[in-house]
Amino acid sequence: MREAVAVNEEFGDEFKRMEEKRFRRLQDLYKFLIENNYISKDIEFDYFAFAFLGIMESVIMRKLILSEEDFNIEEAADKISDYLNKAIS
């Protein structure tokens, strides 16, 4: 990331915009999960976001970058959501 920003400053600005959008979406998901009693109000947003993003990024890296299989990110997100739902239920 640092190298990409050093080479292309516009990339850094675009990445920041993408991160802000992603965190707004995660905040919406977090609020939804709390309002519907899927997760406890005691879970801090930052830790929720880091855990969720860590899982997603790991799956993406392993499936998209390290695997030669076709990869459907929407299907992966559904599978991860199902797993997390079962794990926290």
Higher pLDDT, 81 or 31: 31
Residue spans per domain, the chain:
2-88
Express as a percent the part of the chain with pLDDT over 90: 8
Q: HSE, CB side, 13 Å, CA atoms: give it for residue 34.
A: 13
Q: HSE, CB side, 13 Å, CA atoms: give it for residue 56.
A: 16
Mean pLDDT of the chain: 80
| pLDDT digits 0-9 by tens, 3-32 | 666 677 777 788 888 888 888 988 998 898
Residue 16 near residue 24, CB atoms below 8 Å: no
